[in-house]
Chains A and B, each alone.
Chain A
């Protein structure tokens, strides 16, 4: 009798505990999702603001209490954005610099990573340590010295100046080297026995095996080129070589210093679209790159 009572009580307790657990779980989930939704809204809001601002007229944009949806939709802002900022030329420049610098950078990265991962030569580790040490210095510190250097080379206002200084990324080399090191030595030795050259082994074995990493590097590098602002602003003085970000910043301010923000926002929207598409379709690789690198771009 007592046993039965005990077991019923135990069961009841169990049910109570399970119910409690369920409630807690639901509550935690609810709070978690509420938090995530709020955070998502905070992140999405600037994009929403960008899009609605791009569709307002100047007077509406300047209202003391901003409207959350344009009273009159101004598609004309988009047309004006293209004519005011020479966006077509800037767009082509950005694409050109992005593609060329990515291809060249990949070549440098793959060859260097291969050398550091597979080849044996004197001072390899010291050299690699020295390269890694350069990562400790913030890139901004190099800006002025790099500027002086490229000026002395006479590279200002050229594609060269936008591409060459950033061809070598120690971080990508490091990333790829770690990837290459995971490929078993036996494969290399077997290939060697078969009389394969180092380059052929690299091309036929290592690159295919490290393809996901290479794709991540490609995307991050392209995004870097698309988003770069300070350096191109500094080393170019005409629209012939300027990149899209420079056009966005500079083209919409009139002489009295008043910027035509709606048109500027229209241009920003247009420029954001390719990045948005890249993210939608290639997010798997981007996330992989980001999680491995711990940084973006």
Chain B
């Protein structure tokens, strides 16, 4: 009898907790957002307080993934910001890597404890927006409300036309990749891209020229393979970037914001280039990070055994492509160029690196203060210059290049021991070429799947290549659809 009562009580407790959990799931807060859900041609709007920033004391939390060096830069400039807005306290902390930031915020959202500002990649924002947690920025950007800083100077809360024009267009556009209406959810903070690193010494010794198209790249690989039969001429670090970039360069479909069919990458053009690159790999012309088992910079800087003479990798990882030194002498010189193109007259290179997003909060003054800090970080020339020099990432505004200190730093770029500056210089020189893919909840699955597809296709050694490629594409689409639901 006693046992029965206890069992009954326990069952009752389980039922109560189940009901409690269900009801907890319905406590979402849509924030003070306009009616438009972002599903049509209308942008999603956030109601900016009419008084703008009223000078109240607020504490802003900022989650990022900066290492110690970059945090020092940030700590130097927070006092500068506080000279303008002394009542806004900025508390920032590193959450490890980008995924660490995402995971932390994902959990924090369940308790309504999200930070005010965070480093983000587009697919993170798409994820946060499932809970409608991110502040749409258009009303801030367009705002003409006047704010007065501690020096008594007044300015508009939003951006001026000059400030918008100062952003590198490809980077700025990334903030609008979330819905068909082009609602702006993020501002770029610091950016990298992919570049072609090549062994300049080897190229000069053998009279080789840097390829501008994929066709030229194919021929060059054949030439290099003839010179050094043991080498793999080209290493491409990210299979996923390779696939996505090729889609963009060919103008073929990859993904779309269309809710009825996000994943559009299974088409003839894409199968065609995958087939071509598979042949390249089978000829021993190219390898990738996953196939090689490590970043291909390991092959590029190898002093013995197998080598490669070209690498396509992130400009953010430039220091890893620095030539090895023996007794203080570099074994070769590295140089950099834009990655090969389908159409060199309309180049396309991927845009990577963190953006900033602002989270909704019950106190609108925190949101406005967050906006002011984000505006400061993205438009302050000195900060953008210092951050770029410390990180090796490109600044997001063009006026940084006229900063004297920054100019001097860029001038010291060389292919022996200052590849970082060289990579930033290249990233800045191709500022008209950047693209971003649409971001939606599940867009990272597409990225993962096309990377795997590329890898599996390259290493396939069987005879029925077309059938295998077809199978891989169909499987990738299936996996994406599954992940998105």
Contacts and interface: CB of A to CB of B under 8 A. Distances in A.
A238 B192 contact: no
Contact of A256 (B68, B93, B317): B317
A151 B113 contact: yes
The residue in A133, A237, A251 that gathers the most chain B C-beta atoms within 10 A of its C-beta is: A237
Interface in B48-90: 61, 63, 65-68, 70
Contacts of B353: 255
Contacts of B299: 64
Contacts of B354: 255
A62 B297 contact: yes
Given A84-B68, A237-B63, A253 B97 contact: yes
Contact of B298 (A59, A237, A238, A255): A59
Given A64-B306, A250-B96, A255-B67, A148 B293 contact: no
B113 A133 contact: no
B320 A144 contact: no
Interface residues of B, number: 50
Nearest to B192: A256
A258 B2 CA distance: 60
Nearest to A246: B96
B393 A133 contact: no
A130 B93 CA distance: 41
A237 B24 CA distance: 25
B100 A250 contact: yes
Interface in A114-156: 125-126, 129-130, 133, 144, 147-148, 151-152, 156
B155 to A, nearest CB: 31
Given A62-B295, A64-B306, A250-B100, A258 B317 contact: yes
Interface in A51-102: 58-59, 62-65, 83-84, 86
B301 interface: yes
A254 interface: yes
Determine the main DSSP class of A at the interface with B. Answer: helix
A236 B127 CA distance: 22
A258 B392 contact: no
Given A59-B301, A63-B298, A64-B306, A148 B111 contact: yes
A53 B195 CA distance: 29
18 contacts: A59-B301, A62-B295, A62-B297, A64-B299, A64-B306, A84-B68, A133-B10, A147-B107, A237-B63, A237-B93, A237-B104, A238-B91, A250-B94, A251-B67, A254-B67, A254-B316, A255-B354, A257-B97
Interface of B: 2, 6, 9-10, 24, 61, 63, 65-68, 70, 91, 93-98, 100, 104, 107, 110-113, 115, 190, 192, 292-295, 297-299, 301-302, 305-306, 314, 316-317, 320, 324, 353-354, 391-393
Given A63-B294, A147-B107, A147-B110, 16 more contacts: A62-B295, A62-B297, A64-B293, A64-B298, A64-B306, A86-B68, A148-B110, A151-B112, A152-B111, A233-B104, A234-B104, A238-B93, A250-B96, A251-B67, A255-B392, A258-B295
